[in-house]
Structure 1
Amino acid sequence: MLLYLHGFRSSPQSFKAQLIQQRMREWGVARYYACPQLDVSPARAIAQAETAIAAARGGDPGQPLTIVGSSLGGFYARWLGERHGCRTVLLNPAVHPWTDLEAYLGAQPLWHGGGEVLVERRHLQELLDLRVDAISQPERYLLLAATGDEVLDYRDMLAAFPGARTRLIQGSDHGISEFADYLDEVLEFCGYGPGGVRPGA
């Protein structure tokens, strides 16, 4: 299973999520893809991710799992990756979102489909509860960090994932507009290729 976790105010309609799903469809492995619409509450978002993982594994905790998280989804992915001991890809991940989201308290518009979410102060504590002080197995992580990220500081990302396989992207932006250039590298790290699931994945 490949679990994609979208970012703050985003959705399964994000362009990176769509690119991953389309490539997996082309490779005949789309059945392994999951991307739930995450709740604004971090605690509920984690519960949704855990439900998706449990459903995909069908009661067998030994079923392979990879997680890809973007921005706030990258923060969640870090916590889940440590919990499940699985390969984890982080795309411009949030490192200390309990601080970053302080400026977004209140009603915030969604990027896709209209509507809004209400960010409450209790959500900041929920984020703090998911803090990971240090990753345990750096070789399980792939980090894509863009120096041109206008929302988050790439240097915080590098400091949070020492020893991880890292792709430092010069320039670009928070959304990694040229993500298509890195798509196959990400999926290969997750254990997928043109022939389907790679041996050992």
Structure 2
Amino acid sequence: MRIIYIHGLDSTANSVKGVLLQKYCNTHHAGIEVIRPDLNESPDKVFARLCELVQQAKEADDKVVVMGSSLGGYFASLVSNETSCPTVLLNPSTKPHISLQRFVDDQVIDSIACDDGADTVIYQTTGGWAMTLKDLDWFSAHKLQQITHPEKLFVVIKQGDELLDPKVAADFYQSQAVEVALQAGGDHRMTDFERQLPMIMEHLLSLA
């Protein structure tokens, strides 16, 4: 079995939760391979790469589950809709076309060349993704409007999330008949993730 862990904005393949997940599986679920791709590139490439990783697992007759945090939760939802793979979400972003607009009003960082002319860089992530205005256009064109396989999703949302409105995410997934664990307190980074792992893995394995 494979778990593809999708990190969030300003993170990398070595994200805290991704590493903790791998250590937990190494100790308690030796038969599970945790794949932690670095996804600091344009959203179209991220989506294509994730779908390819899921397809590779299916072609190998291997069970695969996607787990995504924050912006990674948005991508995980899209991938689940596209591939029907089981999915676990952690404080997921549901409207990046809106939440990432916060970078537009900041000072423009740079201008880069692309296939159809120049593009404007509005934010540089710590992992190296130069987010551009065209990236925001991609998010706008790929709004998360429905969940195709709600029975295959499990969502953990912290009511103390200080970055994303937890009510927005909870309302969306509950309206789609997805099981949501809405937990009091906490924060966006889900700093109690290690303590949550037994519960999360129980749900993940039931989905798989």
TM-score by length of 2: 0.82
Q: Are the counterparts in 2 of residues 90 and 141 from structure 1 also a CA contact under 8 Å?
A: yes
Structure 2 counterpart of 1:107, one-letter code: Y
Matched residue SS, 2:140: helix
- Determine if contact 2:65/2:86 at 8 Å carries over to the other structure: yes
Match of 2:153 among 141, 158, 168: 141
Point out where structure 1 has 5 or more consecutive residues left out of the alignment.
192-197
Q: Secondary structure at 2:67's aligned position in 1?
A: strand
Contact persistence 1:172–1:178 (CA under 8 A):
yes
Does 1:118 find its partner at 2:134?
Answer: no
Task: Give the Cα–Cα distance (whole angstroms) in 1 for the partners of residues 155 and 23 of structure 2.
Answer: 22
Structure 1 residues 131-168: Cα deviation after superposition (integer angstroms, max 9, x where no partner): 23111332211111111111100001111112222211
The question of whether the paired residues in 2 share the 8 Å contact of 1:36 and 1:48 is answered with: no
Which TM-score applies when normalising by structure 1?
0.85
Aligned to 1:82: 81
Asked whether the equivalents of residues 9 and 125 of structure 2 are also in contact (C-alpha less than 8 Å), the reply is no
Q: For each residue in 1:154-193, what CA deviation from the matched residue of structure 2 results, as whole angstroms up to 9, or x when unmatched? A: 00111111222221121111001111121112112222xx
Q: Does 1:23 align with 2:35?
A: no
* Equivalent residues, number: 188
Match of 2:195 among 174, 181, 196: 181
CA distance in 1 between partners of 2:85 and 2:178 (Å): 13
Q: Give the aligned partner of residue 194 of structure 1.
A: none
Deviation at 1:116, TM superposition (A): 4.0
4+ residue stretches of structure 1 with deviation over 4 A?
Answer: none
Shift, 1:108, TM fit: 2.6
Structure 1 counterpart SS, 2:155: strand
Can you give the 5+ residue segments of structure 2 that lack an aligned partner in the other structure?
A: 105-121
Identity level (%): 26
